Amino acid sequence: MRSPWVLVLFLALTACPRPPSAPPDAGAAAARPGGPRLLDVGPRAVSNQTASWVWLTGEALRPGLTLTLDGEPLTLEVLDEEHALARIPAGLPVPPSPSGEGARTLRLSDDDGGVRLQVVDDVGFVTPAGLAGAPSGNEVFTTSQGEDAVLGLDLRDGGVRRFPVGDGPVALAVWPSDAGPQLVVAHRFAPELRVLPLDGGAGRTLAAPASASALVVHQGVAYLAEQARDSVSAIDLSSGKERWRTPVAPNPQALAVAGDALLVGSMQTGELETLALADGLVHGSAEPGPGTPIFGGGTAAFSAQVMNGSGVRAIAVAPKAGRALLATIGPNVGPNALRMEVSMNGGVTVAALGPLEVRHHLGFGAGVTQALAVDEAKGLVYAADVSLGLVRVLDLKKLLSADPSQALLQELAIPPPADFPRIRPEADFGEKGRAGLSLHSGPAALWLFGERLTVLDRFTGTVAVVDVRGAAKKKAALVTQWPLAPMLTQPTRRLGEVLYFADLGRTAMSCDACHPAGHTGGIMFEKTQPLRVYRVPTVRGTRDSPPYFTPASTRSLAETAKVVGGRNRFHNPDPTEAEIDALTTYSAGVLTLPNPFLSAGLPETLTLPNGQEGHPRAGAALFGGKAQCGECHPWPGFTTDAKGETRGRFIDVGTPHLFPLREKQQDPHFSGFAPPSLLGAWDVFPMLTTGLAGLSVREDGAVKVSDRFPLARAVMAYAPKHGRADGLTPQEQADVLAFVMCL
């Protein structure tokens, strides 16, 4: 039985990278005695993709001061003599480099030594996402997120055209309207949908929630998932009016239409929900639980120990069969007598639609299934594996049967272009059970049109065209690959991206498997010492807060990349120094997302997920004073791990030590928890090291969502040891929560 001490926190992780990096403490040089000066900034790195706010500490701060970034004035909002926040504009230029980073300096005056701010060049780091096709079948579209564009690829001649769109395009779909086909684009940072005629005519902009994560268009209505408030909304594309908006399970990442219902998949809980298309009412929900059958892979013997699901990356529907297919890393196996930990088993989960029920999971034992396409007429399913560079062909009837173990028909490798650099020498691939060269391609999205399957390759920036006429006879064949955009402007960072997603050792483990897209993936039973259920931490922004793991076992991002990277592969083989450097560089560039609740600065009021109204400015004063939050989460990094002199302190603040599920099969050893950074807390679910702020255990051993506002429980339930919320009035409690939601 394999028992990796593994990844799963691949980055509970990360740290101050070696190169590029900011100093551990971005302190100020000597300034004029008594004059205003900056002491520190958090986060210490920002993306140039969009505008963002940073938090500042200093001395003698006052309204009216001029803050500059390398001489250019910025918007500064002073809260008191020691605290402020500033808006960093989008589009900051970064000199070309393999890592894609550059250092800038924030100052209040010529006498102020200032503080360093790293700028990560996401504008120049092409990240294609999503795939949609024209009704003619001759053109496919994908987003280019950093440069705020949609790319259209002509499948006949490889020509590429660009559509400028809003801030952070993240999802797209084609609407075959009566006026002609139109492209609908949702955005991560802009509160809008763009509707663009494919013939190049004038487009429209419709109001929509920002923080979009998924989009599907059906019969003239755009169904949009967003992760700031964890909701799905229906927007009429003709009138622009919102028909309804419904709260859903945390971090909705996948949508699909099935008859008169909308299917919604949660990345944090593995939950699948059905909403009525007409009014958004939730009709049902389901996820794997104790007894869910698992076929194939290393977790097949552990169905009785399943505690919940894993993130739903994509949904495809077989309407005649009444089934939904989910791309996942498999049911989440909890504590067990054999101490089998870290239960990734990428494959396809099958759910019945009426009534909604998860039937079983087919695991491939290696890789991460990222996208799905169904041809129900021909009885075939196509599954893209982002970590192995494969497109798998499955027999639909066998996949839906009581024993799907023989459903796999073919594995088609999508090779990288000949001139794309390799993470290791070519002789190291395809031997000793390792993955082949195709892991460099990164198939991340599929579009099926007739007998042609188009595949978006995230890392190489190509679209592969596959002839699937012979797929039922295991003869699907790659026809051609078209390039979309230059992908090697930051070569070290690009190879680090490949390494972050790759499953070279074919163990089913990759950084992305536990930390999807650099974020958190719920909870897992993992880590040999001490072995128990932990919340999987986000990678975003963790470059600023070493050490990592509980208790601390790695003290830099580079050390983590070496130790965990080798164990993920079962040391088959150990990573080279070049791999460690590349993975370090890429992980350092996974940054905390700009806060969606800060637009023009700290808002006067903020509506909390529980419906209360909080006042963030009042909450800021309480945070460092009466509530005593700042003792463990001090400005501006909002964790003691952000500064060298307070780093690595493991404490007991009265929060639960152990997840209450089969405790005798968990290691109860406790030496304290590290205070996590609160930057980006608005998008973290669940909370606490155990995940018990947001999740709970039923009598049958199933883990379920108990609170969709985990921050409130984390702050309120464990005082007086975990802060002093017990000494606050109800309004003051709401104010503190509102402030933390703005971090």
In percent, the amount of the chain with pLDDT more than 70 equals 96
| pLDDT at residue number 350 | 98
Strands 221-226, 231-236: pairing is antiparallel
With beta carbons less than 8 A apart as the criterion, state whether 520 and 535 touch.
Answer: yes
Q: Of 456, 488, 520, which one is at a domain's C-terminal end?
A: 488
Whether 73 is in a domain gets the answer no
Work out the mean pLDDT of the chain and round it to a whole number.
Answer: 93
| pLDDT at residue number 19 | 35
C-alpha dist (Å) from residue 346 to 126, 177, 527, 731 = 26, 37, 20, 46
pLDDT tens track for 686-722: 999 999 999 999 999 999 999 999 999 999 999 999 9
| pLDDT at residue number 201 | 84
For residue 435, give its domain range.
Answer: 373-488
pLDDT for 342 beyond 90? no
pLDDT for 11 beyond 80? no
With beta carbons less than 8 A apart as the criterion, state whether 591 and 11 touch.
Answer: no
pLDDT tens track for 424-463: 999 999 999 999 999 999 999 999 999 999 999 999 999 9
With beta carbons less than 8 A apart as the criterion, state whether 682 and 594 touch.
Answer: no
* Closest alpha carbon to 19 in 496, 392, 355: 496
pLDDT tens track for 349-373: 999 998 999 999 999 999 999 999 9
Whether 421 is in a domain gets the answer yes
CB atoms within 10 A of CB 694: 25
Whether 705 is in a domain gets the answer yes
Count of structural domains, the chain: 2
Cα–Cα distance, 298 to 336 (Å, whole number) = 14
Confidence of residue 552 (pLDDT cuts 50, 70, 90): confident
pLDDT for 680 beyond 50? yes
Cα–Cα distance, 226 to 242 (Å, whole number) = 14
Q: Is 644 left (phi over 0), alpha (psi -120 to 50) or beta?
A: alpha
Q: Which of 309-318, 321-330, 544-553, 653-662 has the lowest mean pLDDT?
A: 544-553
Task: With both helix axes pointing from N to C terminus, report the angle between 616-624 and 730-741 in degrees, rounded to the nearest 10.
Answer: 100
Q: Of 433, 458, 488, which one is at a domain's C-terminal end?
A: 488
| pLDDT at residue number 8 | 35
Q: Of 488, 507, 529, which one is at a domain's C-terminal end?
A: 488
Cα–Cα distance, 77 to 84 (Å, whole number) = 6
With beta carbons less than 8 A apart as the criterion, state whether 218 and 199 touch.
Answer: no
Q: Which residue has the higher pLDDT, 354 or 388?
A: 388
| pLDDT at residue number 495 | 98
Whether 348 is in a domain gets the answer no
| pLDDT at residue number 599 | 84
Mean pLDDT, range 391-416, rounded to an integer: 98
Mean pLDDT, range 545-550, rounded to an integer: 90
With beta carbons less than 8 A apart as the criterion, state whether 674 and 629 touch.
Answer: no
pLDDT for 33 beyond 80? no
Would you list the DSSP string of 638-693? TSGGGSGGGTT--B--SS-SS-SSSGGGS------BPPPP-TTGGG--SBSTTSTB
pLDDT for 224 beyond 70? yes
Whether 635 is in a domain gets the answer yes
Mean pLDDT, range 161-169, rounded to an integer: 96
| pLDDT at residue number 21 | 39
CATH number (domain holding residue 654): 1.10.760
Whether 418 is in a domain gets the answer yes
| pLDDT at residue number 6 | 36
pLDDT tens track for 613-659: 999 999 999 999 999 999 999 999 999 999 999 999 899 999 999 99
With beta carbons less than 8 A apart as the criterion, state whether 454 and 133 touch.
Answer: yes
pLDDT tens track for 562-582: 999 999 999 999 999 999 999
pLDDT for 25 beyond 70? no
Would you list the DSSP string of 491-557? HHHHHHHHHHH--TT-SS--HHHHSGGGS---EEEE-STT-EEEEPPP-TTGGGS--BTTTT-B-SH
Would you list the DSSP string of 228-290? TTTEEEEEETTT--EEEEEE-SSSEEEEEEETTEEEEEETTT--EEEEETTT--EEEEE---T
pLDDT for 684 beyond 50? yes
Q: Which residue has the higher pLDDT, 2 or 352?
A: 352
Q: Which of 69-83, 170-184, 447-461, 520-534 has the lowest mean pLDDT?
A: 520-534
What's the token pair of residue 564?
């965990």
DSSP-based three-state secondary structure for 405 = helix
Residue 501 identity: F
| pLDDT at residue number 528 | 78
With beta carbons less than 8 A apart as the criterion, state whether 36 and 49 touch.
Answer: no
Whether 263 is in a domain gets the answer no
| pLDDT at residue number 602 | 96
Residue 734 identity: A
* Closest alpha carbon to 412 in 350, 357, 481: 481
With beta carbons less than 8 A apart as the criterion, state whether 39 and 27 touch.
Answer: yes
Whether 435 is in a domain gets the answer yes
pLDDT tens track for 86-137: 999 999 999 999 999 999 999 999 889 999 999 999 999 999 999 999 999 9
